Amino acid sequence: MQEKHGKPILYKKLNIPEELLTTSKDEDGNMQTYGGDVRIGDLDGDDQVDFLIFRNTDGTKPVFMAAFNLDGRILWKVGDDGLQPVRPGPAAIHDIDADGKTEVICLFHNPDIESKPDELKDVVVQIRSGQTGEVKKEAAPPELTNRSGSGPNWVHQRILLANFRGNEKPRDFVIKLGDTLVAFDDDLNVLWKYTTKWNEYGKCSAYIPSVGDINGDGKDEVNGGYYLISAEGDPLWEKQLGWHMDSVAITQWDKGNMRAICSGFGHVMDHEGNVILKLSEEIVPHGQEARVANFLPDSEGPEMIIRYNAHNTDVIVVSNKGEVLRKFNLNYSPNNTGMEVVYWNGPDKAAILYNGGMLFDGYGNQVYVMPELPEPVGPSRMGWYHCIPADVCGDKREELVLYNPWDRYIYIYTPEPLDPEKFSGYRPEARQYNPRLMD
């Protein structure tokens, strides 16, 4: 039985406010005017979604940050200029001290200190007020400032909110800086750090790790594909499972058990390092992106959709018993990353998959093309529509918040029928404060 999927309506095409834009050449040599990297949350606490944009220096260090609301009204801005981040970067939106007000947790450039581009001597970690952008807390511990690196395993510096201390809500975070994870609490104390010995291209741990409570003790573990780290920073297991460990997750898999999803050669692991599933190098030569959800309403979920052949359109759908149920191709999109699980029909219905301005069901059908979404501008590799699913209007069904970091608009699509009366306010969830965006 296939679900009926509501037709997408362009709910809002939001102009990033003119004074927050900048213009520079992209890596293909074309001039672009753009906002930058985007995160969403409720910054001012009015139960409506707001937007954070930021730009960097040296590719990875934020120097400019600004916030605006759904009406395009600027809430605040700090810093100057900045260029397009090389990859989705180190800023997250969350009420990290659980006082009911939202903060921005970020790295930020300190211009008073001399540093080489690939060193973090000139970087601080900050907690800013979501309402005003003011710095509430700042620190520059050596675990951060002594880090340096280069290449693909260096540029994906993402802040992941986590619950390491067993609080009621996540009040900690972890950031991976090259080969090292550094965990912080909401006072910016370093809780622990962990360094992996595997840092070679194609044979390194996941560029962007994932957090989740795999053993049900109320504290989060960190899955990096080649390791699972306890809430206290100790390795629960370390194994170089397969090459191209590009995509990981901690989520329910077989019989409701929480597992570590590790895309390299298509692995699913338990918290003790036992292999629950290994698809093999033949089936998954380069596990670029893996997404787990109940995609097939007529098969006992969840399933995994895995982009198994690097930066290409080929995907397989794998049951939680390990059978390859389907094989199909997504549409081309620049870089061929950015597929995302969307609860388009509501939280209790089968999920569908976003990719490159389109929606696919788990059977491989192209369900919808987003109306009025132009071809992406920007460089051939990194100009594409990133997707953050979130329930920001209408009923409980998720909307798609789409942005191309090289463009000046944010698009919000909602499923038909849209009934604004059913909207009870936006409540930020992990799907927004820890968005996947790309692998």
**Is residue 376 within 8 Å of residue 383, measured between CB atoms?**
yes
DSSP for 204-269? SS-SS-EEE-SSSSSS-EEE-SSEEE-TTS-EEEE---SS----EEEEE-GGG-EEEEETTTTEEE
CB of 49 to Ca ion, least distance (A): 6
Considering only 118, 119, 185, 213, the residue that binds Ca ion (CB under 5 A) is 213
* E-only strand ranges, 274-404: 275-278, 289-293, 303-307, 314-319, 324-329, 340-342, 352-355, 358-360, 366-369, 386-390, 399-403
User: Does residue 185 bind Ca ion (CB under 5 A)?
Assistant: no
The tokens describing 2, both together, are: 């296939």
User: Does residue 397 bind Ca ion (CB under 5 A)?
Assistant: yes
Binding mask 374-393 for Ca ion (x = CB under 5 A): -----------------x--
User: Does residue 270 bind Ca ion (CB under 5 A)?
Assistant: no
Please identify, using beta-carbon distances, which residue of 44 and 122 lies nearer to Ca ion. Answer: 44
The tokens describing 171, both together, are: 């009040």
From the list 27-35, 137-145, 299-307, 395-403, the region that binds Ca ion by CB under 5 A is: 395-403
CB of 430 to Ca ion, least distance (A): 15
User: Does residue 186 bind Ca ion (CB under 5 A)?
Assistant: no
Phi, psi (degrees; rounded to nearest 5) at 123 = -125, 140
CB of 284 to Ca ion, least distance (A): 27
CB of 230 to Ca ion, least distance (A): 7
Considering only 80, 134, 217, 272, the residue that binds Ca ion (CB under 5 A) is 217
DSSP for 92-119? EEE-TT-SSS-EEEEEEE-TTS---TTB
Q: Which amino acid is at 374?
A: P
**Is residue 378 within 8 Å of residue 385, measured between CB atoms?**
no
Considering only 394, 405, 428, 435, the residue that binds Ca ion (CB under 5 A) is 394
Please identify, using beta-carbon distances, which residue of 382 and 410 lies nearer to Ca ion. Answer: 410
User: Does residue 187 bind Ca ion (CB under 5 A)?
Assistant: no
Q: Tell me which DSSP letter residue 151 carries.
A: S
User: Does residue 42 bind Ca ion (CB under 5 A)?
Assistant: yes
CB of 421 to Ca ion, least distance (A): 12
User: Does residue 26 bind Ca ion (CB under 5 A)?
Assistant: no
Considering only 215, 257, 312, 313, the residue that binds Ca ion (CB under 5 A) is 215
- The string over 7-22, giving b where at least 16 C-beta atoms fall within 10 Å of a residue's C-beta and e elsewhere, is ebbebbebebbeebbb
| Distance, CA of 23 to CA of 16 (rounded, Å) | 13
CB of 15 to Ca ion, least distance (A): 18
Residues 77-96 interacting with Ca ion (rule: CB under 5 A): 95
Q: What share of the chain is helix, strand, coil (3-state, %, to 5)?
A: 5, 40, 55
CB of 143 to Ca ion, least distance (A): 22
User: Does residue 348 bind Ca ion (CB under 5 A)?
Assistant: no
Cis omega (within 30 of 0) on the bond before 17?
Answer: no
From the list 187-195, 205-213, 369-377, 429-437, the region that binds Ca ion by CB under 5 A is: 205-213
CB of 341 to Ca ion, least distance (A): 15
- The string over 192-227, giving b where at least 16 C-beta atoms fall within 10 Å of a residue's C-beta and e elsewhere, is bbbebebbeeeebbbbbbbbbbbeeeebbbbbbbbb
Please identify, using beta-carbon distances, which residue of 37 and 44 lies nearer to Ca ion. Answer: 44
| Distance, CA of 171 to CA of 182 (rounded, Å) | 15
Q: How many residues bind Ca ion (CB under 5 A)?
A: 17
Residue 89 CB neighbours (<10 A): 25
Spatial neighbors of 319 by CB under 8 A, at least 6 apart, are 299, 300, 303, 325
Q: Which amino acid is at 218?
A: G
From the list 45-53, 110-118, 257-265, 308-316, the region that binds Ca ion by CB under 5 A is: 45-53
Please identify, using beta-carbon distances, which residue of 217 and 323 lies nearer to Ca ion. Answer: 217
CB of 97 to Ca ion, least distance (A): 4
Considering only 26, 37, 44, 439, the residue that binds Ca ion (CB under 5 A) is 44
Considering only 99, 114, 348, 375, the residue that binds Ca ion (CB under 5 A) is 99
Task: Tell me which residues touch Ca ion (CB under 5 A).
Answer: 42, 44, 46, 48, 50, 95, 97, 99, 101, 103, 213, 215, 217, 219, 391, 394, 397
